[in-house]
Chain A
C-alpha cells in the first residue's frame, strides 16, 4: 500500500515536469520561430515556415523593412518619451497622494480614500470618446501630453502605495525632520521617497511596460506618422505594404519585442515578485 502510493507519487511528479516543460516550450516557440524567420529569406520561409536554426538573410530583410514606412527608431523614441513621462508622473504623484492619505489626519481623508477605491475599477477605455473630443477641441491631438498627464491620477497605484506606506512609515522620522526645521514638502522628497524606493521600483516597471504596450489611446490621438508609437508601428506590418515579404515582417516584429525581452530577462526576478505583491490586495 505504502509502496504503491510512492510509485504513483513519483509518476505524478514526472507528469508535472512534463507539463511544465511543455508549457515553457509553448511560451518560447512562437518567439523562437519569429526570430529565426527574421533571418531567413521569403523563399526559404515559403518552402518551410518552421526552422529552429537561423539563416543568413538578416541584412536583406533589414533593407526591405526599412525601405518602407516602418520606422522603428521613431517609434522607439516616441514610445520612450511617452512611457518615461507616464511612469514619472504616475509614481511621483501616486506616492505623494498616498503619503497625504497616510501621514496627515484631515477631515476628508476617509471619504477620499473610499472615493479612490470606488473609481479604481472604472476602465478608461469606455470614456475614450469624450476624452478624444476634449483633446481635439484643445487642438492637442498629435501631442504627447494628453497621453502622459492623465497618469498623475492613478487610483490603483495610490492604493498600492498606501498599503506599502501603512506598513513602512514611522511617524517619528517625520517628526525628527520637523524638529530639524524641514518643510513638509522637503520631508516627502528627501525622507519619504527614499523609503518608498522598493514599492516605486515595482510600480515603475509595470507602468512603463503597460504604457509601452498601450495601443488604443495612442492610435486614437496620434494620426501623424512622426508621432507613432511602437505598437502603432507594429500595426503597419499588418497592412498591404509587406504583403509577401515574410522575412521583413518577422524582423519588424522581432525589433519591437527585443527591448522588452532585454528588460524582462534583466528584471524578471523583481517583475515576478511584483506580480505576486500586486495580486494580494487586501
Chain B
C-alpha cells in the first residue's frame, strides 16, 4: 500500500531559506546600499547619514575625470595582462609536456605540489617578502646582483615604476601559473581519449595534436580560467597595497587600492569610493559577458543553424509537394 499525498516539496524551500536570507542581508542589501551611496554626499569618518546630491551623477563624473582613478585603471590592466599572458602560456606549455602520450615525465606529482605552493601562501606575506627581497640598500636581489658582478653598488629597484609594476606582475604570475596548469591538465584528462588515438593513427605530430585536438577541446576551461583570473585581477588589492602602497608615483596603484584609499583614509570619501566601486562592477560584468560571447561554443551554434535550415527546406519541400498533389 502506498501512502498518498505526502509532498516533500516544501522542504526544498526550507533548506534554501538560510542561503537566501544570508544572501539578501550580506550581499544584496550592501550592493543596493553601495549603489545608493554613489549618488549621495556621504563622506567623513564615522558618518552614516546622507542626502541625495542635486546632480546625482556628480560622483561618477568626478571619479571618471580623476587622474588617479584613470591611472589606477591603466595600472590594473597593465599588471593583469603582463601576468596573464605568460601565465597561460607557461601553463599550456607545461600541460602539453605533462599530458604527452609519447613522453612520460616522471615526478609530475612532486612538480605540481611545488608549482602550486605559492598560491596558498598569504598574499600579504608574499607582498612584504618580495618588497624585502628587493630591498634597498640591503636585500637579497641586490646581493645577488653584486655577487654576479651585474652592479657595482646597491640599486633602488622599486623606485623605478616599470620594475615595481613588473615585480607585481611577476608575483601574480608566480602565484597563479601552477593553479592554471593543474586546471588545464584536468581539462585535458577529461577529453575523450579516442580523439588522441585517432590523431595518432592519422600520423599527427605532437604539436599538431596539441593545436588541433587539445586546444579546441580546452576552450570552455580556458574561458573559465580567463574569466576568473580577470575578475580576480580587477580586484587585485593585497599585493599592490602592501608591496609599495601603490608607489612609486602611483605606478602600482590598482583600482581596489584606489577605492580603499578613497573610503578609508584621507577625507573618507565613501560616496566617491562607492561610485568607483559601481564603475568597477559594470566593467567586471561587461568583461565577463564579452568573453562568454566571444568564446561561446561556435560549432554548436553552427550545428543548430544547420538543423533549422534543413527543417525549413524540408517544410518548403513538403508544401511544394502538397501543392502539386
Q: Contacts A24-B114, A271-B116, A279-B186 hold; do A121 and B288 have CB atoms under 8 A apart?
A: yes
0/1 per residue, B118-158, Cβ < 8 Å to A? 10111111101111110100111011100100000000000
Q: How far is the CA of A94 from the CA of B19 in the complex (A)?
A: 8
Instruction: Write 13 A-B pairs (CB below 8 A) sorted by A numbering.
Output: A17-B105, A20-B111, A28-B117, A31-B121, A49-B143, A96-B19, A133-B48, A212-B122, A231-B125, A234-B242, A246-B135, A253-B132, A280-B221
Contact call A275/B116, Cβ cutoff below 8 A: yes
In the assembled complex, the CB of A70 is this many whole angstroms from the nearest CB of chain B, namely 12
Pair B186/A276 contact, Cβ less than 8 Å:
yes
Are the CB atoms of B15 and A134 closer together than 8 Å? no
Q: Answer whether A127 and B27 are a contact pair too, CB < 8 Å, given A152-B22, A246-B132, A256-B122.
A: yes
Q: Given A112, A216, A234, which contacts B122 in the complex, CB threshold below 8 Å?
A: A234
With known contacts A238-B131, A279-B224, A271–B142 Cβ distance under 8 A:
no
Contact A129–B34 (Cβ < 8 Å): yes
Contact B256 A216 (CB under 8 A): yes
Do A153 and B140 have beta carbons less than 8 Å apart?
no
Q: Is B301 an interface residue (CB 8 A)?
A: no
- Of the residues B15, B19, B144, B256, contact of A125 by C-beta under 8 Å: B256
Interface size range of chain A in the complex = 35 or more
Assess the B182–A123 pair: CB atoms within 8 A. no
Given contacts A216-B237, A235-B242, A279-B182, contact A130 B30 (CB under 8 A): yes
B: interface residue count bin: 35 or more
Smallest Cβ-Cβ distance to A107: which chain B residue: B9
The answer on a CB contact under 8 Å between B238 and A150 is no
Residue A257 interfacial (CB < 8 Å)? yes
Given A49-B142, A268-B113, are A131 and B128 neighbors across the interface (CB < 8 Å)?
A: no
B281 interface residue per 8 A CB criterion: yes
**Known A131-B33, A253-B128; further 15 A-B contacts with Cβ < 8 A:** A31-B129, A108-B13, A128-B263, A130-B32, A130-B33, A133-B37, A137-B48, A184-B11, A215-B238, A216-B256, A220-B260, A246-B135, A246-B138, A279-B182, A279-B221
Tell whether A124 is near chain B: CB-to-CB under 8 Å.
Answer: yes
Bound: A253/B48 CA distance, A: 37
Q: CA–CA, A103 to B14, complex, Å?
A: 12
Q: Which one, B12, B29, B242, contacts A105 given CB within 8 A? A: B12
A33 with B133: CB separation less than 8 A: yes
Q: From known contacts A127-B30, A137-B48, A152-B19, infer whether A109 and B133 are also in contact, taking CB-CB under 8 Å.
A: no
Q: Does A77 contact B (CB under 8 A)?
A: no
Among A96, A231, A264, the residue within 8 A (CB) of B120 is A264
Residue among A30, A48, A123, A126 facing the most chain B CB atoms (10 A cut-off): A126
User: Across the interface, do B117 and A27 meet the contact criterion of CB distance under 8 Å?
Assistant: yes
Task: Please report A residues at the B interface, Cβ cutoff 8 Å.
Answer: 9, 12-13, 16-17, 20, 23-24, 26-28, 30-31, 33-34, 37, 45-46, 48-50, 93-94, 96-97, 99-101, 103-109, 112, 119, 121-134, 136-137, 146, 149-150, 152-153, 155, 158, 184, 188, 209, 212-213, 215-216, 219-220, 230-232, 234-235, 237-238, 246, 249-250, 253, 256-257, 260, 263-265, 268-269, 271-272, 275-282
Inter-chain contact A126/B284, CB cutoff 8 Å? yes
Point out the residue from A16, A99, A129 that lies within 8 Å of B103, measured CB to CB: A16
> In the complex the two chains form, is A100's CB within 8 Å of B15's CB?
yes
A231 touches B122 (CB 8 A): yes
Which residues of chain B come closer than 8 Å to A238, judged between CB atoms?
A: 128, 131, 242, 245
Of all chain A residues, the one with the shortest Cβ separation from B178 is A27
Q: Please, how many angstroms separate the alpha-carbon atoms of A99 and B182 in the complex?
A: 29
Residues in B neighbouring A129, C-beta threshold 8 A: 33-34, 37, 259, 263, 270, 273-274, 277
Q: Please indicate which of the listed interface residues A9, A127, A216, A278 has the most CB atoms of chain B within 10 Å of its own CB.
A: A127
- CB of A173 to closest CB in B, whole Å: 14
B16 within 8 A of A: yes
Nearest opposing residue in chain B for A137, CB measure = B48
A280 touches B190 (CB 8 A): yes
A132 CA to B277 CA in the complex, in Å?
A: 13
Could you tell me the distance between the alpha carbons of A209 and B123 in the complex, rounded to whole angstroms?
11
The 7 closest A-B pairs by CB, nearest first: A100-B15, A279-B183, A130-B33, A104-B12, A130-B34, A106-B12, A152-B22
Q: Among residues 37 to 53 in chain B, which have CB atoms less than 8 Å away from a CB atom of chain A?
A: 37, 42, 46, 48
Q: Which residues of B contact A126 (CB under 8 A)?
A: 34, 235, 277-278, 280-281, 284
Shortest beta-carbon distance from B139 to chain A in Å = 5
Interface contact B26-A150, CB-CB below 8 Å: yes
CB-based contact B143/A130 at 8 Å:
no
Considering the complex, give the chain B residue whose CB is closest to the CB of A24.
B114
The answer to whether A131 and B124 touch across the interface, beta carbons within 8 angstroms, is no
Q: How far is the CB of A267 from chain B (nearest CB, A)?
A: 10
Asked whether A23 lies within 8 Å of B115 as measured between CB atoms, the reply is: yes
Query: Which chain A residues border B178 with CB–CB below 8 Å?
Result: 27
**Chain A residues, Cβ within 8 Å of B118:** 27
- Looking across the interface, which residue of chain A has its beta carbon closest to that of B16? A100
B18 at the interface (CB under 8 A from A): yes
CA–CA, A103 and B26, complex, Å: 27
A104 to B33, CA, bound (A): 34
Q: How far is B30's CA from A128's CA once the two chains are assembled, in angstroms?
A: 7
Q: Max chain B CB contacts within 10 Å: which of A23, A137, A264? A: A23
Given known A-B contacts A127-B34, A130-B32, A26 and B186 have beta carbons under 8 A apart: no
Task: Say whether A97 contacts B18, CB under 8 Å.
Answer: yes
Most buried by A among B48, B116, B129, B264: B129
